[in-house]
Amino acid sequence: MTIKILIVDDSLPMRRVIKKTIKASGYSSAEFFEAENGKIALDILKNTWLDIVITDYNMPEMNGIELIEAMKQNDAFQSIPVLVVTTDGSNQKVSEFLEKGAAAYIKKPFTPEAIRNKLNNILGATGNEKSESSDDGLDF
């Protein structure tokens, strides 16, 4: 089964880095969707069933917390796990992400291993499986 991943970040380079990191983490056959902010992400969610949403926090138009809130209010999206990847590592903000319903968060800068471990935990917990093994490290 192909895993469908939505990456939400206003930074084109960061979306590319996250995608590259995920592909190198054993999810090479994953299908990727990209959005520059929460509003565009919601439009994609309306038309596509996704396995996970990976979102930045600080974005124009609609930020990551507003996106999580909107997803949790919609029956169709509320079970989709959300991984927050953010520069904002204050304890208050991290608590807020988790209280709003994020499955986990990763602080930027991140290592490829951090992304891999969080994805494995979340997708493993939701019953998805990786497309191939990644136990032998990451190859960029």
Partner 1 sequence: MKNLKAAMMASISEVLETMFFMSVDFDMHKTIKKNIDIFQNGITMVCRLDFAGPFSGCFLLIIPEKLLADMSQNFMGMEQIKIKQQHLEGTIKELTNMIAGNTFSTLNDQIEFTLSIPELIDTRTLTSNYMGNHEKGVEIITETTGGFLAVKIILHDT
Footprint on this chain of partner 1 (rule: CB under 8 A): 10-14, 16-17, 20, 58-60, 86-93, 107-111, 140
* Residue whose tokens read 């497309």: 131
How remote is the C-alpha of 80 from its chain's centroid?
Answer: 10
What's the rounded Cα separation, in Å, for the pair 88 and 56? 10
Closest to partner 1 by CB, 75 vs 139, is: 139
Least Å distance between CB 13 and partner 1? Answer: 4
Closest to partner 1 by CB, 3 vs 106, is: 106
- 139: its two tokens: 């190859």
Closest to partner 1 by CB, 12 vs 125, is: 12
Using DSSP, state whether 38 is helix, strand or coil: helix
